[in-house]
Every structure is written in C-alpha cells, then in structure tokens.
C-alpha cells in the first residue's frame, strides 16, 4: 500500500459541471482564482458548459475551467475587476481557465488535463494553452511534466499577478 490514500481511488471526470456540484465547484475555483473582494462572500455565476470537475465517489476533488471563443468558466468578470483585467493574446487553442485540486499530487490535475486534451481534440483544436504566473514554480513544473512548453510571456490577468507565462500543449503530438 502506498502512503497516498487517494491514488488508489478512481477519479471520474464530468463535463459540463453537473448541477448537484456546481456550487461547490464554483467555490473551489473562486478560492483559487477569484479576486479579493474585501471580504465579500458572494461567488459570481459560473458557466457549467465551460467547466469540468473531478469526482471521487460523491466527493468533488478538482475543478478545471475552460475558456474559448464563447467565454470562460466565470460567466462575467465583476465590473470593478474588468477595469483592471488584461487578457492574453487571442488563440485558437482551448485555454485552461484555471485548474485546482483539493489535494495536490493525487492525480486530480493530471486526470483533468487528460480530459481537457480529449475535449480539445473532439472539438478539432490544435492545442491547449495555460496561463501561469511565472512565480508559480509548482504549476510550471506540473505543466512541463505534461508536455506544455513556453510560447510567450507578458503581464496578463490581474495587475498584481506579475509576469505570466503562456504555456502550450500541442495536440498534434501524442501524449
């Protein structure tokens, strides 16, 4: 037996996000990627069609947002935040609109990326793009381990996030 109790548990991926877990999925995603609102507890509306969840039994263990030409997981950026947000360059790739797991190193992120790869292939997209803070070493290593390579950098997203790396996974390659 390994020291990791979750690795032996099956992870099921659901897309779009089922109604029964949408509130929990939105809360988990917002905790990881939302903006500070001065203590405001309200979580904005999320678009189930632009989200994917990882479940172990009836437990939500991870969430991935999807951004494409039709929008992202966050239905609408709050007005005050929209003034500060800087979008990365447009792409024909499917953009990972944030991915978060309740517990790191349990296979949740890898399972979500695998499902995103398949979804992007089904939609005829050439790649997946992730936008990662340069300072986030763990995320950079995670994406590199899955074959993502840096294709650009800039000051995208929220002004306080610092430099952002644009990482791409070419779907024409196998893996």
pLDDT in tens, 25-38: 999 998 888 765 55
Nearest to 28 by CA among 12, 16, 15, 17: 17
Q: What is the 3-state secondary structure (H, E, C) of 68-101?
A: ECCECCECCCCHHHHCCCECCCCCCCEEEEEEEE
Residue with tokens 């990882």: 54
What sign does the dihedral 15-18-24-30 (CA atoms) show? positive
Intervals of the chain under pLDDT 50:
1-4, 6, 175
Please tell me the distance from the alpha carbon of residue 41 to that of residue 29, in angstroms, as a whole number: 14
Please give the model's pTM, rounded to 2 decimal places: 0.88
8 Å CB contact between 171 and 117: yes
pLDDT in tens, 50-74: 999 999 999 999 999 999 888 889 8
pLDDT for residue 171: 94
Total count of residues recorded for the chain: 175
pLDDT for residue 147: 96
């Amino acid at each position: 037996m390994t020291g990791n109790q979750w690795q032996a548990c099956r992870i099921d991926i659901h897309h779009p996000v089922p109604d029964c877990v949408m509130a929990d999925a939105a809360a988990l995603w917002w905790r990881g990627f939302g903006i500070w609102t001065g203590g405001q507890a309200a979580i904005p509306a999320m678009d189930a069609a632009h989200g994917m969840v990882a479940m172990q039994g009836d437990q939500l263990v991870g969430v991935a947002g999807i951004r494409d030409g039709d929008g992202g997981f966050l239905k609408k950026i709050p007005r005050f935040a929209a003034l500060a947000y800087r979008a990365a360059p447009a792409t024909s790739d499917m953009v990972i609109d944030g991915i978060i797991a309740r517990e790191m190193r349990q296979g949740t992120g890898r399972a979500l990326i695998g499902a995103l790869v398949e979804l992007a292939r089904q939609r005829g997209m050439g790649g997946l793009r992730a936008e990662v803070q340069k300072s986030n070493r763990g995320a950079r290593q995670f994406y590199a381990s899955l074959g993502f390579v840096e294709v650009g950098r800039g000051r995208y997203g929220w002004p306080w996030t610092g430099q952002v790396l644009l990482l791409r996974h070419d779907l024409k390659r196998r893996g």
